[in-house]
Structure 1
Amino acid sequence: MFSESAPAKVNLYLHVTGRREDGYHLLDSLAVFGPVADALRVAPADDLALALEGPFGATLAAEPDNLVLRAARALAAAAGVPARAAMVLTKRLPVASGIGGGSADAAAALRGLDRLWGLGLGEARLAAIAAPLGADIPVCVASRPARMQGVGEALSAAPALPPCGLLLANPGVALPTPAVFKARAGGFTPPAALPAAWPDAAAMARALAALRNDLEPPAIALCPVVAEVLAALRALPGCLLARMSGSGATCFGLFADAAAARAAAPLLPGRWWREAGGLYETGG
């Protein structure tokens, strides 16, 4: 049996830079990971099966063919091997929440089954298999900070990030990504100019404050409680920056360190989903 973590993806900024002729939007975003993750276990079996557990497992039970199963079949087809594995997904991340939970789960399946089946395909090949399944899955394969461009498939190195803390908060409302893009109005935002590194979390927050998440206004129009979450985060002691991640409704607060983020979490309403800590470290 092999186990893989599927950490939350957090977009520190997200600019919509254009739109292709096929309707897909072009993006520019800085993605980081942490501080909470789903977990996927894979083991040998005679066929392909997926069991769901965890606080959000029941939410996926109605999906007969979710991204984990699709990723498994895509990997088997690419490698020319039978799609045989027993998989158990512990779902801790809210569904349709802007932190790439389904994408992270699919990426975990690709990594775990690559190990289980002894394929040794490597990160680049797994990312190529992932790309047709969803724009966020390639960055989740590596689960390390990266700049995302194109429709999400064009990945490059992120600036060197300082130690910092993240507090994630979700009001318990699902926001489907297509609906948020459809509600978006206005033009496009140029790509960001990023430095090679930030010396500390405060400097990073100041730079990010000059950027934006272009999906925040349409998300708030569809789900006004997002604005309430952002206001609550901004009011917390030590919060350096508050912003929505992805297409929402999860928002994050950036703090100087993990301890400050954890200390602030209980100050948010208990009815919201809340997780706090440091950035995810691959293999950690």
Structure 2
Amino acid sequence: MAIEVFAPAKINLTLHVTGQRPDGYHLLESLVVFADIGDQLRVSKSDEMQITVDGPFAQGVPTDQRNLCWRAAELFGETVSIHLTKNLPHAAGIGGGSSDAAAVLNAMEQLFEWPCSASALSLGADVPVCQRGRATLMSGIGETLSETDIRPLDAVLVNPRVDVPTPQVFKGLTTKNNPAMTPMPAPDQNHALWHWLADQRNDLQAPAVAAQPIIAEVLATLASLNPQIARMSGSGATCFALFETRTQRDAAAQTLKQRNPEWWVEPTTLT
């Protein structure tokens, strides 16, 4: 018996760094949504741990204990065989590894028919929210999660195919005590949502641009397509642009693919 699960791309529409604890963990506030594109996994019971990988971004993915999927299975406490089809770029700020690990935990709970007794937070700040896979307000170090209503958003994701190591980006933060997010508007207030999003931030965007200046080029290119919002997700380098309609989104994606064929460009719906 095998369980097949989807690991969607995680998008931080906002990401405010509001402080740092004495143990070094950063305090965050973020509105997290999920795309309808992502990795695919197949998990089955096995006498020994095993990971196999294919897909357009399979190269360089570890198949041993370095893989967060392996560590997720160890956290659950059972041995499984995992096949991962890697469709999302690496070190891209869209939670690929965290979403994969969360998918493994969810699959193992179905496969073995009992809940994981250990905290998914030990695998990383994004793993608990990725287990939910739906619009969530995340705060603290990733342990405080609150469901929120948000209408589906038409978006284009763009990654210039450069890696941005998360520790390097956090190290580049000049200020770690930044203003918190303001309260979200009601989900049926579309124009209020656009204004609210425009007033929020990704505090990791500036240090990520310093580490990989091409991110600024991506953001400028997205802005030239007249989206409602253009911003970087997570610690980068993936950026997103939100559009009012699917037609505008698809036209923007086509333009981006023609202008920058070396970039990873995907139209998607965020929920």
- Normalising by the residue count of structure 1, what TM-score does the alignment of the two structures yield? 0.89
Structure 1 residue matching 2:107: 3-state secondary structure: helix
**Contact 1:163 1:256 survives alignment (8 Å):** no
1:214 matched to 2:209: no
> 2 CA distance for matches of 1:25 and 1:66?
23
> 2 CA distance for matches of 1:50 and 1:62?
5
Q: Which residue of 1 aligns with 2:10?
A: 9
**Contact 2:185 2:192 survives alignment (8 Å):** no
> 2 CA distance for matches of 1:25 and 1:86?
34
Structure 1 residue matching 2:60: 3-state secondary structure: helix
Alpha-carbon RMSD across the aligned residues, in angstroms, is 1.6
Which one-letter code corresponds to 1:274 in the other structure? V
1:272 to 253, 263, 267: 263
Structure 1: unaligned runs, 5 residues or longer: 77-82
- Deviation, 1:201, is 4.5
Cα gap change, 1:44/1:187 in structure 2, threshold over 3 Å: closer, same or farther? closer
> 2 CA distance for matches of 1:62 and 1:163?
35
Q: Which residue of 1 aligns with 2:79?
A: 84
**Contact 1:28 1:147 survives alignment (8 Å):** yes
> 2 CA distance for matches of 1:254 and 1:273?
17
1:35 matched to 2:30: no
Q: Which residue of 1 aligns with 2:194?
A: 205
Structure 2 residue matching 1:265: 3-state secondary structure: helix
1:111 to 106, 110, 120: 106
1:236 to 222, 225, 233: 225
> 1 CA distance for matches of 2:65 and 2:167?
21
The equivalences for 1:143-158 within 5 A come to: 143-158=133-148
The number of equivalent residue pairs is: 267
Structure 1 residue matching 2:14: 3-state secondary structure: strand
Deviations 1:117-174 (A, max 9, x none): 122x2xxx57x5211110000000010110110011211122x212320110000100
Structure 2: unaligned runs, 5 residues or longer: none
Q: Percent identity?
A: 45
Structure 2 residue matching 1:59: 3-state secondary structure: coil
- Deviation, 1:231, is 0.7
Which one-letter code corresponds to 2:200 in the other structure? L
Which one-letter code corresponds to 2:206 in the other structure? P
> 2 CA distance for matches of 1:44 and 1:99?
28
1:102 matched to 2:97: yes
1:253 to 241, 248, 255: 241
1:171 matched to 2:160: yes
Q: Which residue of 2 aligns with 1:191?
A: 180
**Contact 1:7 1:34 survives alignment (8 Å):** yes
Q: Which residue of 2 aligns with 1:142?
A: 132
Structure 2 residue matching 1:58: 3-state secondary structure: coil
Structure 2 residue matching 1:96: 3-state secondary structure: coil
**Contact 1:259 1:277 survives alignment (8 Å):** no
**Contact 2:51 2:63 survives alignment (8 Å):** no
> 1 CA distance for matches of 2:98 and 2:75?
14
Deviations 1:184-240 (A, max 9, x none): 102522221223523355432211111110011111111100000001111114x11
> 2 CA distance for matches of 1:85 and 1:171?
34
